[in-house]
Structure 1
């Protein structure tokens, strides 16, 4: 049996010896005597317990050393955890910046792709617009009379219709400026005509059709714009004006 296992038995024996050594008359004595004897007996018991607890006290010191070592290790682990947490936060911040940069790059790439697609469409469609113009001139100027001419006319107008449908699918739309106010962003004034039928600055006629691709202008519409007529000066007003100039 080890010293630690023997200690409770020793303590119990000491307590039994202390109690058994107490004379029976002590319990019948006066209260002061009983109290004095009890205190002395308790002191002796405590001293006996302290003597027997010396090995336990030494064992507790060893435990204290072990506990101190554990505390130091715990502090070291805590410092390591704080360091790793800081590294994790730094890595997280770097990842967030990289994710934001990648998102900006992705959006910029998509915008550039859309711009390139629109530019490519614009270049191709611009080359096809003169073909569309020729079909429209043929439709307005040619007047088929024979059955053969009518068949040819119907044939190339079918081609014209197919071409226009393809342009519409690509997002191309024709301008309809007649009767609208002149806008230099969409129109190009080729002629000016004095008239009282339209307000000043109104597009009277479209000489060459303009086209847009979405919000992109493929070609400005060439138009004729209304301007007010000059005031009519009568002979009397003219003579009066000449007299004022000579006077």
Structure 2
């Protein structure tokens, strides 16, 4: 029986030696890559790198086009902002002039003409998306109102706008000028 065990051990060692030799040959074949195979692997790596670079470039270009489109849409939407900002002081002066009390017929006629021009100007600005911000009686909102005075007396709840000193305006959804207001504390 001892001989059988020794014989089995010798056979196992022979099989193991043969497996090791086969494995070594396979590893050696892998290590010894032909120059053509190396060139193919290099070219495949360069191709993959070029494809990745192309995809990144394509994504950057798509992002650029999207940003340009959004910028153009914003520019179109708010194209009148500079003009409106420049016209607002004249609009304020119109409103102050219309508050003057007319004593004679000539002054009343003059004020009626100014009122018509004021309405036309407001209508043209409204067509561009300008709208006045309602203030009096509203709750104070720091995004819409600029508090220039706070008082403790007066009607209404705390943090309510009591008086408007200068109108505020929005162009579409953008605040052009906040309303200057007096707020109850």
Q: Please give the range of the TM-score, normalised by the shorter of the 2 chains.
A: 0.5 to 0.7
1:154-193 aligned at under 5 Å gives the runs 154-193=112-151
Distance 1:155 1:142 in 2: 15
Structure 1: distance between partners of 2:103 and 2:62: 61
Q: What 5-or-longer segments of structure 1 have no aligned partner? A: 1-86, 228-247
1:59-94 CA distance string (max 9 Å, x none) = xxxxxxxxxxxxxxxxxxxxxxxxxxxx99998877
CA contact (8 A) 1:144 1:153 kept: no
Counterpart contact for 2:131–2:170, Cα < 8 Å: yes
RMSD value, Cα: 3.3
Per-residue CA deviations over 1:132-173 (Å, capped at 9, x if unaligned) read: 111111222232531x32322222211111111111111111
Aligned to 1:140: 99
Rounded to whole Å, the distance in 2 between the matches of 1:143 and 1:107 is: 57
3-state SS of paired residue (1:201):
coil
1:221 alignment counterpart: 179
Distance apart, 1:226 and its partner CA:
1.0
Partner of 1:12: none
- Taking the TM superposition and a 5 Å limit, the aligned residue runs for 1:41-190 are 97-117=56-76, 121-143=80-102, 145-146=104-105, 148-190=106-148
* Greater relative contact order, per chain length (Cα 8 Å cut-off, separation 6+): 2
Count of residues paired in the alignment = 149
The answer to whether the 8 A contact 1:171-1:214 is kept is yes
Q: Is the 8 A contact 2:98 2:114 kept in 1?
A: no
Question: What is the correspondence of 1:232-247 to structure 2 with a 5 Å cutoff?
Answer: none
TM-score (norm 1): 0.50
Shift of 1:117: 4.7
Query: Matches of 2:55 and 2:114 in 1, distance apart?
Result: 60
> Is 1:194 the counterpart of 2:165 in the alignment?
no
Q: Distance in 2 between matches of 1:94 and 1:162?
A: 57
- Greater helix proportion: 1
Which runs of 5 or more structure 2 residues have no equivalent in the other structure?
1-45
Higher CA-based Rg = 1
- The whole-number CA distance in structure 1 between the counterparts of 2:173 and 2:63 is 24
Q: 1:204-232, CA deviations, whole angstroms, 9 ceiling, x for partnerless residues?
A: 111100011122211110001112xxxxx
